[in-house]
A and B are shown apart, each in its own frame.
Chain A
Amino acid sequence: GAGVSQSPRYKVAKRGQDVALRCDPISGHVSLFWYQQALGQGPEFLTYFQNEAQLDKSGLPSDRFFAERPEGSVSTLKIQRTQQEDSAVYLCASTQSWDGGYTFGSGTRLTVV
């Protein structure tokens, strides 16, 4: 596609619910990143994929967070048993290679109540 597409745009979850956030990167982009942005802060790295391989998941805050990209295109970030501190904007970015400029999606704003 022309840009990075994320869905849903907004998500409200009750504490304890599981959520799945989707990222559709630019066609042909090998590298895909997930970031978390809290209000008033810069984005913080969660995980990195090169094609279908998850090469870096050092930023995932707990084992409740899980990401996959099974066919090397669309990626899903799953959060199990959501907690209030998970409330943030979740951003996806893609690029043709790691050492290239990112294109970010519009993000998913997750609110846990």
Chain B
Amino acid sequence: GIQVEQSPPDLILQEGANSTLRCNFSDSVNNLQWFHQNPWGQLINLFYIPSGTKQNGRLSATTVATERYSLLYISSSQTTDSGVYFCAAGTTSGTYKYIFGTGTRLKVLA
């Protein structure tokens, strides 16, 4: 089955800094999502991005499916960006599950 790896596992930033989070997946996928889990445990969908590039405010994401990776960019980080960022990869071949990575734990310092 699909394996999903995220890096770095932990990241500490000063407010205002930029960062790039990476998600590698082991197999061809049809779908990929990025989520932010806030300190209260709520999972928020950031991007549904099986391929290409999308931007939403200070966040953007790029997926290169042929090379089996996706990147999440956070610019001008804020303390409210703290939490865990997960990518989740899915395939239509015989199952409907998304496989989540182990996450990148981000702490933004004021």
Contacts and interface: CB of A to CB of B under 8 A. Distances in A.
Interface string B5-36: 00000000000000000000000001101010
B83 interface: no
Interface string B48-69: 1010000000000000000000
A58 B95 contact: yes
Interface string A46-59: 00100000011011
Contacts of A89: 41
A91 interface: yes
Interface residues of A, number: 24
Contacts of A43: 43, 86, 88, 100
Contacts of A103: 45
A106 interface: yes
**Of residues B47, B50, B97, B100, which shows the largest number of chain A Cβ atoms within 10 Å of its Cβ?**
B97
**Of residues B43, B90, B99, B103, which shows the largest number of chain A Cβ atoms within 10 Å of its Cβ?**
B43
B45 A101 contact: yes
A59 B43 contact: no
A104 B95 contact: no
Interface in A58-113: 58-59, 89, 91, 93, 98-104, 106-107
B75 interface: no
B100 A42 contact: yes
Contact of A104 (B30, B45, B90, B96): B45
Given A42-B102, A43-B43, A104-B43, A99 B30 contact: yes
Contacts of B73: none
A18 interface: no
Given A99-B30, A100-B48, A45 B43 contact: no
Q: Which 7 interchain pairs have the tightest Cβ spacing?
A: A42-B100, A101-B48, A45-B97, A104-B43, A48-B96, A56-B96, A101-B45
Interface of A: 33, 35, 41-45, 48, 55-56, 58-59, 89, 91, 93, 98-104, 106-107
